């Protein structure tokens, strides 16, 4: 592989402006992450008086010290539940992929400080995503249960559709059939349908006095049956361990339960790893700090995508596939953390495509192409490359900065629909792990072709600069205005202003992160390690089916 020769001038005014703009965005990101992770002092004190830890404290005590913790959905529900005092920080659940007793695991912890751990729609979506990660990558999963169940005021958001609350228990059953260990410990409330989650786990522990499990609590039992019963008698740790047999272990303190969880993971058999190529890792030769100064301040400004790739891959070296063909997509083989990877990335600048001679044999000038648009030739190149990676069991990484497929008379005549369909087909049917990072724009069918959330990436993260939408807000407004012939010029200006503002809010990286369209927003400098973590997670699933596609319109 060839080491990339950087043309980035870290001393230039342009670089400094771009770096300053990114640092401003990162300050906003860090402020928002701090906001959702902060625990109210009085609430924490009440927990401590009961001998309890907060959700993040429990996780910190379970994971191996000094190992990486990859949080999923830290910004879930951000700004979404403003009608509820305090909102729903992190959707009332903390979810991570971490190392416990030397083993990669998924941990889901209800946060009792957020509405007693009661679930809303985004809580459900986040928990399903974490279960999906465990299933796709064959990772053991640990449930730290402390939840009052469904938020009854919002039950219609969470019951009874396909991706609602019941899907969690369906996943419990599917994971059990796959042989994925599920370890549950009830630290507080476990009410109604939520009791099935620990009930369907491989093994289950409860903490004395603080924990309880029942399908109906004391008030509902008295209302429905006329029985007066206290919480401990109805569903306490002693009852479920000694009488019902629902629980398997009982501990007096949370610290003891945490040690038990670690012991359970330590006793698991060694995983069988996938046959992905991995050699010794080498750090990038170019400084990853310089990623902060690559992207333009303007969302439509140009840059060189290879400058980003070179600061993510081992030794800043990669081998381009078809480097002179389909220039609006960069396709290359590289190593990341020692893993062989295939990278598909949208170019960030205008490029020239070499044109064939005309029918008389006369040379034609090169055709100017917009970098972040997918043309027929770049789609064909990507399809070929993706199939190669599947043939060779090489995981795929997609770096988004795409405004969509090319449109217009020439593009349609050249068959952009069939070429784009082919790219979507081979990508959707990929059997190797796929990982997605949204660098800047991710619009329309370009999002689909480049493995957006609908196409099952093992992990999908974005930079703070990411924008996800059907199209740019200005273009959308101008398109809609063509149909508003009854409006005068002033009304058109007002309409355009409102629609652009709406798009601006809805395309934001935070809007997507709040709704779990992405797994989180990351500092560009964390991109490499996040992807390496994803590759290490993915190798825990050794099952790789045969690669097949449907009929391709060649």
* Residues 131-147 pLDDT 10s: 999 999 999 999 999 99
* 115 secondary structure, DSSP code: G
Q: Which pLDDT score is estimated for 482?
A: 93
The residue length of the chain stands at: 554
Q: Do residues 385 and 424 make contact, with C-beta atoms less than 8 angstroms apart?
A: no
**213-222 long-range Cβ contacts below 8 angstroms, 24+ apart:** 213/186, 213/240, 213/246, 213/247, 214/190, 216/192, 217/191
Helix axes 416-428, 376-391, angle to 10 degrees: 20
Q: Which pLDDT score is estimated for 261?
A: 98
Nearest residue to 187 (alpha-carbon basis) of 220, 142, 153, 218: 142
* 94 secondary structure, DSSP code: E
**3-class DSSP state of 468:** strand
532 CB-near residues (< 8 Å, 6+ apart): 281, 336, 337, 339
268 CB-near residues (< 8 Å, 6+ apart): 103, 140, 181
Q: Which pLDDT score is estimated for 355?
A: 83
Q: Which pLDDT score is estimated for 283?
A: 98
Beta partners for residue 468, in sequence order:
442
Sign of CA dihedral 323, 325, 326, 328: positive
CA dist 502 and 500 (Å) reads 5
Output the CA–CA distances (angstroms, integers) from residue 199 to 6, 79, 192, 355, in the order listed: 56, 33, 11, 65
Q: Do residues 521 and 462 make contact, with C-beta atoms less than 8 angstroms apart?
A: yes
Q: What residues of the chain score a pLDDT lower than 70?
A: none
pTM above threshold 0.85? yes
Strands 520-521 and 459-462: parallel
Strands 459-462 and 212-214: unpaired
Q: Which residue has the tokens 């995983």?
A: 271
Q: Which pLDDT score is estimated for 177?
A: 97
HEC letters along 49-84: HCCCCCHHHHHHHHCCCCCCCEEECCCCCCCCCCCC
């Amino acid at each position: 592989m060839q080491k990339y020769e950087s043309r980035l001038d870290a001393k230039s005014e342009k670089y400094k402006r771009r770096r300053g703009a990114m640092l401003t965005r990162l300050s906003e990101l860090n402020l928002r992450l701090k906001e959702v992770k902060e625990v109210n002092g009085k609430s924490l004190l009440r927990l401590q008086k009961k001998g309890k830890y907060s959700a993040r404290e429990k996780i910190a005590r379970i994971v191996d010290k000094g190992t990486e913790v990859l949080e999923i959905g830290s910004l879930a529900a951000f700004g979404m539940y403003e009608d509820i005092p305090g909102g729903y920080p992190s959707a009332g659940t903390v979810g991570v992929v971490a190392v416990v007793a030397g083993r990669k695991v998924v941990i889901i912890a209800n946060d009792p400080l957020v509405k007693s751990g009661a679930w809303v729609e985004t809580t459900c979506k986040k928990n399903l995503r974490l279960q999906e990660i465990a299933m796709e990558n064959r990772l053991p999963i640990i449930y730290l249960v402390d939840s009052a169940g469904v938020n009854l005021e919002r039950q219609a958001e969470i019951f009874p559709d396909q991706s609602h609350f019941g899907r969690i228990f369906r996943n419990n059953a599917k994971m059990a059939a796959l042989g994925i260990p599920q370890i549950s410990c009830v630290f507080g409330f476990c009410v109604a349908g939520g009791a099935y989650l620990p009930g369907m786990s491989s093994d289950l522990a409860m903490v004395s006095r603080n924990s309880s499990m029942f399908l109906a609590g004391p008030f509902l039992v008295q209302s429905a049956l006329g029985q007066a019963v206290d919480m401990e008698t109805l569903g306490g740790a002693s009852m479920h361990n000694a009488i019902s047999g629902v629980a398997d272990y009982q501990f007096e303190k949370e610290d003891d339960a945490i040690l038990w969880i670690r012991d359970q993971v330590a006793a698991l058999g060694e995983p069988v790893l996938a046959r992905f190529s991995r050699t010794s890792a080498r750090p990038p030769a170019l400084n990853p700090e310089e990623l902060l100064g690559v992207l333009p301040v303007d969302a439509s400004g140009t840059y060189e995508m290879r400058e980003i790739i070179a600061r993510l891959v081992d030794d800043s070296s990669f081998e381009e596939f078809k480097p002179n063909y389909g220039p609006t997509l960069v396709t290359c083989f590289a190593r990341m953390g020692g893993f062989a990877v295939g990278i598909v990335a949208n170019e960030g600048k205008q490029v020239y495509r070499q044109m064939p001679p005309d029918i008389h044999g006369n040379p034609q000038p090169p055709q100017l192409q917009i970098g972040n648009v997918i043309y027929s030739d770049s789609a064909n190149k990507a399809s070929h490359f993706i199939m190669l990676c599947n043939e060779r069991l090489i995981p795929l990484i997609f770096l988004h900065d795409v405004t969509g497929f090319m449109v217009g008379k020439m593009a349609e005549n050249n068959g952009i629909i069939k070429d784009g369909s082919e790219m979507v087909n081979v990508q959707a049917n990929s059997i190797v792990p796929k990982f997605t990072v949204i660098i800047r724009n991710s619009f329309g069918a370009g999002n689909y072709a480049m493995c957006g959330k609908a196409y099952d990436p093992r992990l999908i993260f974005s930079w703070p600069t990411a924008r996800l939408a059907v199209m740019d807000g200005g273009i959308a407004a101008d398109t809609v205005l063509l149909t508003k012939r009854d409006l005068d010029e002033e009304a058109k200006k007002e309409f355009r202003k409102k629609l652009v503002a709406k798009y601006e809010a809805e395309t934001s990286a935070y809007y997507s992160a709040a709704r779990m369209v992405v797994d989180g927003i990351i500092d560009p400098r964390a991109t490499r390690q996040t992807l390496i973590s994803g590759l290490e997670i993915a190798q825990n699933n050794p099952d790789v089916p045969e690669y097949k596609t449907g009929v391709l319109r060649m």
